[in-house]
Amino acid sequence: MSTAIPGFTTHTRFITGRWLRAQYRQPALIAFTLVQPAIWLLLFGQLFKGVVNIPGFSDSSYIAFLTPGIVMMTALMTSGWSGTTFIADMERGVMDRMLASPVSRGGLMAGQLISNATTTLIQTILVFAIGMAAGARYDGGAAGYLVTIGVSMLVGIGFGSLSNAVALLTRQQEALIGISQFVSLPLTFMSSIMIDPSVAPHWVNVAARFNPVDWAAIAARQALAADPDWSSVLRHSGLLLAFTLFVGWLSTRAFRTYQRSV
């Protein structure tokens, strides 16, 4: 037919629609992914109440310190599963049918990631609600919350696209889950998610400097503070954005590798 082939933006919209619809049909899954952060917040919030008394710990309440970190951790952990949807498509013939169609590869990747990012958005709001219920309070204004939501979505998109790439390269559910857990654990602990850098070992602080999840946690905590250091917020969010765009581009190229192996 003589219709013009739609490009990246249009295809992204269609593919996003597909995944949003699938997600909306399994709302229980989102609730399920919240169990873990809720436990972390409530358990650690209680367990380490005393942490704030350690000299040099900069926040007055540990739960307020912990909540933005747990938000990023949740975004990271959930995005690790992202690629399982690609594996399901490969196990059926859906991926092959799509790749033999004129669909934009970028759109195929972006659509799935955007739909994932809406999950991150909902999770971020809910984790905050849990944190606040447990006593977290923030002095910063609405901008702080917006930055937190923004960076958490970038974490979800960035690591989601890596998960999708691993799915395209390994084509195996077990390998994907193994790799994503192997990666997300050190990313969580080599960061300021749970412990303030001033009391962490030096090597952790060095490693954290290269950790995109830590960039997100720092940006969020800064933005939520009473007197944010906006240049730090900007620098860390900027780094995170660059990271996300780079891995997004890299992951889209993994479609080629997949096509070479079928």
Partner 1 sequence: MVTHALDAVDLVKTYPAGRKKPPLRALDGLTFSVPEGIVLGLLGPNGAGKSTTVKILTTLSRADSGTARVAGHDVVREQDQVRHAIGFVPQKSSSDPMATGVENLVLSGRIYGLSRVNAVRRATELLERFGLTEFGDRQVKTYSGGMQRKLDVALGLVHRPQVLFLDEPTTGLDPEARADLWNEVGRLSGDEGLTVLLTTHYLEEADRLAGQLAIVDHGKIVAEGTPEALKAELRGDSVHVELVDPDLDGTVRALLSGLAGVGEIVVEGNALRARVDRGATAVPAVLGALEDKAIPVTAVTVSRPSLDDVYLQYTGRSFRAVEEEAA
Query: Which residue is closest to ligand ATP by CB?
Result: 262
Q: Which does 22 bind (CB under 5 to 8 A by kind): partner 1, ligand ATP, none?
A: partner 1
Least CB distance to ligand ATP at residue 198 (A): 53
**Tokens representing residue 120 in the block:** 């991150």
**Long-range contacts, 200-205 (Cβ 8 Å, 24+):** none
The residue among 2 and 261 lying less far from ligand ATP, judged by its C-beta, is 261
- How many Cβ atoms are within 10 Å of 46's Cβ, its own excluded? 11
Binding to partner 1 by residue 92, rule CB under 8 A? yes
User: Dihedral through CA 18, CA 21, CA 25, CA 30, nearest 10?
Assistant: 90
Q: Which of 20, 42, 96, 118 binds partner 1 (CB under 8 A)?
A: 96
83-91 and 173-189 helices, crossing angle to 10°: 180
- How many Cβ atoms are within 10 Å of 157's Cβ, its own excluded? 27
Alpha-carbon distance 36 to 154, whole Å? 20
Q: Which stretch binds partner 1 (CB under 8 A): 13-21, 29-37, 53-61, 159-167?
A: 13-21
Least CB distance to partner 1 at residue 164 (A): 16
Alpha-carbon distance 247 to 157, whole Å? 9
Q: What string marks each residue from 223 to 262 as x (binds ligand ATP by CB under 6 A) or -? A: --------------------------------------xx
Q: Name the residue type at position 172.
A: Q
Interface size with partner 1, residues (CB under 8 A):
28
Binding to partner 1 by residue 118, rule CB under 8 A? no
Least CB distance to ligand ATP at residue 262 (A): 5
Using CB atoms within 10 A of its CB, is residue 99 exposed (0-12), middle (13-18) or buried (19+)? Answer: middle
Least CB distance to ligand ATP at residue 95 (A): 13
Where on the chain is the footprint of ligand ATP (CB under 6 A)? Answer: 261-262
